[in-house]
Every structure is written in structure tokens, then in C-alpha cells.
Amino acid sequence: MPNLQIRQAIRDAMAEEMARDENVFLLGEEVGHYNGAYKASEGLLERFGAKRVIDTPIVETGFAGVGIGAAMCGLRPIVEFMTFNFSAVAFDQILNNASKIRHMTNGQFGVPIVFRGPNAAAHMLGSTHSQAFDPFYAHIPGLKVVAVATPYDAKGLLKSAIRDDNPVVFLESELMYSVRGEVPEEEYVIPIGKADIKRPGKDVTVLTWGQGVPTALEAAEMATRHDIDAEVIDLRTLRPLDNECILESVKKTNRCALIYHGWPYGGVGAELIARIQELAFDHLDAPVLRECYEDVPMPYAENLEHLVIPSAERGLAAILKVCYKA
């Protein structure tokens, strides 16, 4: 079984789907001749040609709109944002066109499109380039939102996203493109909407996704020194959420902590807490706690950035507190 980086798994997913379906094509800044800003499209221009791997100008609202129009005409575009911070320029296209056209045309037009690229903080990029956009897009009916943290998940979920007849926002991480993991040689897909238990446990449920996954796993491992067996669930899909997996775990452990990249106010974490207290309140032995960004713009200075971004140590503190061991 090949050991691939996340960037390679993403490349392979796109290559396989482009070979399977001639309607699939890629467009975005530097995706062709430069092989992608993070080399996730390496070799695709040479293999599929300039009509299917399209370098665009630096105009996100323009090429997002081109992608949406192409999807309405029956093609299956993959739109790469160099970073989802730049998707803010295309927000009107995604919010008012991609997510709503099927509804507003009573199903006469579909929008089978994938918007993909790195999300959340990288390292010392400042406040305008370090934002987690998952709550913005998860808020919008008509979109599906996926966040990946392993090569296996990245490939299987991207293939599902490309085949989906709805617009999918596919969130990666700049800091995790080099993360390695085993990926099957045979074809496989992972259903959108299914969480994955990355670490089974019995004492506390830890919910996480995307860039928060390695931090949550490290915090769970540290918790074993305190005789706490934490179950770590990677949501993988933020819209739709896998309520069944989440609630089954919480009803088993009776405690829950969240570790994720994103602001606390009005985000995916807040939605998770609301659902857990509504649907599993009688099973809780402690309030649901979370470790996420501090509620401030991301600093540029490395020492200050470290204070804002979730750490395994602070994740452990949340786990200990929810287990009444702090």
C-alpha cells in the first residue's frame, strides 16, 4: 500500500477522476505550469493538457463564476483557491450562486463543483491569511463542507466530492500537505457525511476536524498519563454532520471536549455543542468544553500566534477539566 503525502493523495484523486470523466477539469491560480502552489496538481497539465488544467488570473470572483457556469452546463469543475482566505473575494459567487441555483431553478440546473484549497492558519501569515472559513460555508444551505486530515481521507473524500451533484467546499491545510499515510492502490471512495473514529476510547469524546486532528490525538495520548481513555472522532464532514456517530460516542462516554481550529463565536464548535445538549443532554456528566482559537485576529508574531492556536497541552487541559481531574 503506497505511503503518500496529502498533496499526492489529492493529486491522485483529481487525476483518477479526470481520467474517469472527461467533464472533470481543474482551474485556479498556478495549478498548471507551476504544478500548484503546494504541488497538489503536479503533472496534471502535462497529462491532461491546457483545456482541462487551466491557469487563471488572480481574480477569484471571476474564475469561481466561470466554474459555476461550467457546472451549470454539465461539466464538473474543481476550483482551487490558493488559500480559502482568498475565497472571501468569491464569497458572493459561492453564497448566492453555487449554493442556490438548484433551488432557485427548481432543479433545472445543478452545480456539481468542488471548491478546494488550504484553510485556517499556516505559520506567521498574519490575520488576513490565517482564518478558518469552515463556519462561513457550513452556515449556508445548499453547500456540503468537507475537512480532511489524512491522505486516505483526502483521496477518498475528494473523489466523492467530485462525483457529487452538489457544490462541495473541500478544506485542506497548508501545514498538513506533507503529512504521510497509507493509501490503497485500488479505487475507493469515502461517503460524504460520515465521521471517523481515529482513536477509540471510553472516558471522554473528543471531537475534531481538519488541522485539529493531530492536536486532538496528541492531547488524547497525553491524557492516558492521567488514566483517561479519550475517544477521538474526526468529523471529516462539517455539513452534513454525522449526528449518529457523535451522539453514540457521547452517550457512551458521557463527556465531550472539542479541539479545533477556528474562532469560538458562532462557529461549527458552537453548533456541535448545541446539538449535543439538545439531543444528548441527559447523558452528559459535565458541560461540553472546547479548545480553539482565542477570540482575536491572528497575530503575526510567532510567540503570540502560539498563544492563539490550539495546542495539545491546552487540549489536555480541556479533557482534564471535563473529566473533573483538573
Which of the following is catalytic: 16, 30, 42, 129? 129
Does residue 190 lie in a domain region? no
Does residue 33 lie in a domain region? yes
pLDDT at position 287 over 90: yes
Are the C-beta atoms of 205 and 319 separated by less than 8 Å? no
Residue 224, SS3 per DSSP: helix
Query: What is the Cα–Cα distance from 70 to 233, expressed in whole angstroms?
Result: 36
The three three-digit cell numbers of residue 36, written as one number: 500548484
pLDDT at position 1 over 90: no
- Tens digits of residue pLDDT in 308-325: 999 999 999 999 999 999
Domain boundary among 115, 149, 182: 182
- Tens digits of residue pLDDT in 131-140: 999 999 999 9
Domains of the chain: total: 2
Residue 105, SS3 per DSSP: coil
Q: Is 278 a catalytic residue?
A: no
Residues 8 and 140 reside in one and the same domain: yes
**Which pairing describes strands 256-259 and 168-172: parallel, antiparallel, or unpaired?**
unpaired
Q: Is 129 a catalytic residue?
A: yes
- Tens digits of residue pLDDT in 177-220: 999 999 999 999 999 999 999 999 999 999 999 999 999 999 99
Residues 314 and 291 reside in one and the same domain: yes
Does residue 189 lie in a domain region? no
Check residue 29 and give its pLDDT.
97
Which of the following is catalytic: 17, 60, 80, 231? 60
pLDDT at position 259 over 90: yes
Query: What is the Cα–Cα distance from 205 to 257, expressed in whole angstroms?
Result: 6
Residues 21 and 131 reside in one and the same domain: yes
pLDDT-derived band of residue 326, with 50, 70 and 90 as boundaries? confident
Residues 208 and 279 reside in one and the same domain: yes
Q: Looking at residue 80, which CATH number applies to its domain?
A: 3.40.50.970
Q: What is the mean pLDDT of the chain?
A: 97
Kindly state the DSSP code that residue 309 receives in the 8-state scheme.
Answer: S
User: Can you give the residue range of the structural domain that contains 69?
Assistant: 3-182
Q: Looking at residue 299, which CATH number applies to its domain?
A: 3.40.50.920
Nearest 5°: the CA angle 239, 245, 248 is: 140
Q: Can you point out the beta strands (E) in 38-195?
A: 53-55, 76-80, 114-118, 144-147, 168-172, 180-182
Residues 173 and 204 reside in one and the same domain: no
